[in-house]
Amino acid sequence: MQADIVILAAGQGSRMKSKLPKVLHPLAGKPLVQHVIDQASTIDGAKMHIVVGHGADQVESALANQGAAFYLQSEQLGTGHAVAQAVPGLDVEGVSLILYGDVPLTPAAVLQSMVQIAARGHLALLTVVLDDPTGYGRIERNAVNDVVGIVEQKDADAEQLKITEVNTGILALPTKLMMEWLPKLSSNNAQGEYYLTDLIAMAAEARVAIHTLNPESEYEVQGVNNRRQLAELERWYQLQQANRLMDAGVSLADPTRIDVRGALSTGTDCSFDINLIIEGEVEIGSNVRIGPNCVIKDAKIGDDVEILANSHIDGATVGANAQIGPYARLRPGTELAEKTKVGNFVEIKKATVGVGSKVNHLSYIGDAQLGSDVNVGAGTITCNYDGVNKSLTEIGDNAFIGSNTSLVAPVKVGSGATVGAGSTITKEIGDNELAVARGKQRNIDTWERPTKKV
Ligand code: UD1
Ligand code: CA
């Protein structure tokens, strides 16, 4: 059965004080509305319909190529009017799930249950009991506790305002019923809007069963109206990530100082110091220790790796037992084999480094292939760019590159070769050869230091 997911995202979000439409503001590195889409996409038979208005072009281009249909609501005449815009794209035989683009953290499992209830011909409504229900639509129940309607804050009388069970805005129902009821909505209310919430009274009248579900946490149904709420939701989300990691066998120096902006998988017995930022897709093995202030993005880290403070890893693979940092920078295309060592102020880009090789201090290795057990001395750089083209540096197993060497690519250093410190290497070095390419030292014994002229 088709599950039409209608995401309302036409509102302005003026309290964000932003040129960026509210639903595109990032939470954990991803637009709010993208969280909604990603959760809803896991529902069987899901098809996305997004109602846009303010900043429609920006929202559409940010969400292009995901198979979602867009509907323009040029005037925001209410949530009922918003849903009506999407009706031409819905499957009359299916079910509809209504979501808000600014409520990012409702779990997929909750949404899936709601769709299943709707598939049985009933209406599913997500409600929550709040200490302070101010501003929300109140859930009205009859003497036997069945839901009979929703009354909005601005339309409620003193008695109704005391109700603490509120509407989250999320509901699911058979599309056929919704299509029948939407045209019957009127804007005869305090806000002069077409309220989607008026469907609830219609359902009750038609004796359609109304099931209510509740979230495990208020945050799962919390919308974002301003940047404070956005930050609050971000912290809650991050705390869930931290708890998940600790439950999976990771020690965190401080669960409030790790941010996972993407997907992180870990083995057991890892320990992460403070201020770790994870972005994109990161896979970390077992017994990995990460020092403070590291940023790791789209990377794969093997077992028993140690990453010391202030290291940045992006688009890299790090083999087991490697040691990285402090202050190392691994850029996209870096592949470090097992037992490698990359030390402080070393930058590596698009390079493979073989088993047991070491680049310990102040080096730049770009567009290079290093064999195993290579030792790269401090201050060595690959001159990989001639201003137009990038060229490759190849270094064989067991080679020893003296400190402050410039390797002018394309160039090859043979296995077991040695390069004298301070060399500028422009020609191939054969296996086991020694290359020294630097000015000869002269000592001038008649030299006199200049003295200051008066
Ligand atoms: C709505 C509900 C209320 C519920 C609350 C939960 C109605 C009438 N009221 O109230 O019962 O407690 O949400 O947060 O549904 N939107 C559009 N087009 C419109 C109007 C709204 O796309 O014409 C979108 C907004 O961008 C937003 C969502 O729908 O994402 C909710 O709109 P909002 O104005 O915040 O609804 P509330 O009045 O707060
Ligand atoms: Ca709202």
Maximum alpha-carbon separation in the chain: 111
- pLDDT-based confidence at residue 421 (cuts at 50, 70, 90): very high
Q: Per-residue pLDDT tens for 229-266?
A: 999 999 999 999 999 999 999 999 999 999 999 999 99
Q: What is the pLDDT of residue 3?
A: 98
Q: Which residue has the least CA distance to atom 3 on ligand 1?
A: 137
In short, whether 136's Cβ falls inside 6 Å of ligand 1 is: yes
Residue 226 scores a pLDDT above 90: yes
Q: Which fold has domain 227-435?
A: UDP N-Acetylglucosamine Acyltransferase; domain 1 (2.160.10)
- pTM score, two decimals? 0.94
Q: What is the mean pLDDT of the chain?
A: 98
Under the banding of pLDDT at 50, 70 and 90, the label for residue 181 is: very high
> What SS3 string covers the chain?
CCEEEEEEECCCCHHHCCCCCHHHCEECCEEHHHHHHHHHHCCCCEEEEEEEECEHHHHHHHCCCCCCEEEECCCCCCHHHHHHHHHHHCCCCCEEEEEECCCCCCCHHHHHHHHHHHHCCCEEEEEEECCCCCCCCEEEECCCCCEEEEECHHHCCHHHHCCCEEEEEEEEEEHHHHHHHHHHCCCCCCCCCCCCCHHHHHHHHCCCCEEEECCCCHHHHCCCCCHHHHHHHHHHHHHHHHHHHHHCCEEECCCCCEEEEEEEEECCCEEECCCEEEEEEEEECCCCEECCCCEEECCEECCCCEECCCCEEECEEECCCCEECCCEEECCCEEECCCCEEEECEEEEEEEECCCCEEEECCEEEEEEECCCCEECCCCEEECECCCCECCEEECCCCEECCCCEEECCEEECCCCEECCCCEECCCECCCCEECCCCCCCCCCCCCCCCCCC
**Rounded average pLDDT over 188-215:** 98
pLDDT for residue 12 is more than 90: no
CA 179 to ligand 2 centroid distance, Å: 24
The domain segmentation of the chain, as residue ranges, is 3-221, 227-435
Mean pLDDT, residues 79-83 taken together: 98
Ligand nearest the Cα of residue 103 is: 1
- Residue 64: per-residue pLDDT: 97
Between the alpha carbon of residue 357 and those of residues 158, 377, 396, the distances in Å are 75, 11, 11
CA angle 234, 239, 245 (to 5 degrees): 130
pLDDT for residue 425: 98
Instruction: Report the atom number in ligand 1 closest to the C-alpha of 12.
Output: 26
Cβ–ligand 1 distance for 76 under 6 Å, the answer yes
> What residues pair up with 440 in beta bridges, in sequence order?
none
pLDDT average, residue stretch 420-446:
97
Q: Looking at the annotation, which residues are catalytic?
A: 361
Question: Mean pLDDT across the stretch 381-393?
Answer: 97
Q: What is the pLDDT of residues 48-80, one digit of tens each?
A: 999 999 999 999 999 999 999 999 999 999 999
Residue 454 banded pLDDT, cuts 50, 70, 90: confident
Q: Is 31 in the pocket of ligand 1 (CB under 6 A)?
A: no
Q: Ligand nearest 189 Cα, by number?
A: 1
- pLDDT tens per residue, range 293-352: 999 999 999 999 999 999 999 999 999 999 999 999 999 999 999 999 999 999 999 999
Domain made up of 3-221: CATH architecture = Alpha-Beta Complex (3.90)
